Amino acid sequence: MLNIALFGPPGSGKGTQSKYLIEKYNLAYISTGDLLRAELAAGSDLGKQVKAVMDAGNLVSDELIVQILEKKIKSLENVKGILFDGFPRNLVQAYILTGLFSKLNTELTCMISLEVSEDELMGRMLKRAEIEGRSDDKPETIRNRFKQYREKTQPVEGFYEEIGKCYKVDGLGTIDEIFDRICEVIDRL
């Protein structure tokens, strides 16, 4: 299996690149953010529990993330690999992912980290807020999401660096340029 965790700060283009990657490599796609937004839209109990946390730009508890992940993974059949977008978001989740893959008798192939400066990202996120109107794209929420990223998510990169699975990719440029850089990494593996 080709299992990839796409990593990077909010607004770094993970969602956009994911769409192209799952098509090219025929992968199942798991975005914990999308799964949570689907729960919100459905007005489920879980959705109600996470709304305030997401609106503030904080991380949802690991227990709830495991619940939605297990539900999603159970629904997958005959997949060639999985692309994770927005997961793992902290070190506990990195260990959870290792456990999940071992249950599936497979392992993470690589973690690809999109590198973009915070200044560039802030501009992109504010623009996205205008277009998509996501409730967690308000300036103060965006700032908190970056803070959460620096404090809780950034250490995950070190975890994968230590085991030789972290590949950094320049996240500045056109969508095609960035996609080519990511594919180069995957194809080398």
Q: Which residues bind ligand AMP (CB under 6 A)?
A: 10, 32-33, 36, 53-54, 57-60, 65, 86-87, 89, 93, 136, 145
Amino acid at 163: I
Shortest gap between Cβ of 186 and ligand AMP (angstroms)?
21
Shortest gap between Cβ of 54 and ligand AMP (angstroms)?
4
Q: Report the b/e string of 108-129 with b at 16+ CB within 10 A.
A: bbbbbbbebeeeebbeebeebb
Q: Which is nearer to ligand AMP, 86 or 171 (CB)?
A: 86
Shortest gap between Cβ of 121 and ligand AMP (angstroms)?
12
Between CA 64 and CA 79 the distance in angstroms is 24
Q: How many residues does the chain have?
A: 189
Shortest gap between Cβ of 188 and ligand AMP (angstroms)?
27
Shortest gap between Cβ of 143 and ligand AMP (angstroms)?
12
Strand arrangement, sheet containing 110-115: 28-31, 82-85, 4-7, 110-115, 166-170
CA torsion 171→176→27→183, rounded to 10°? -70
Q: Give me the residue whose beta carbon is nearest to ligand AMP.
A: 33
Count of beta carbons in the 10 Å neighbourhood of residue 170: 11
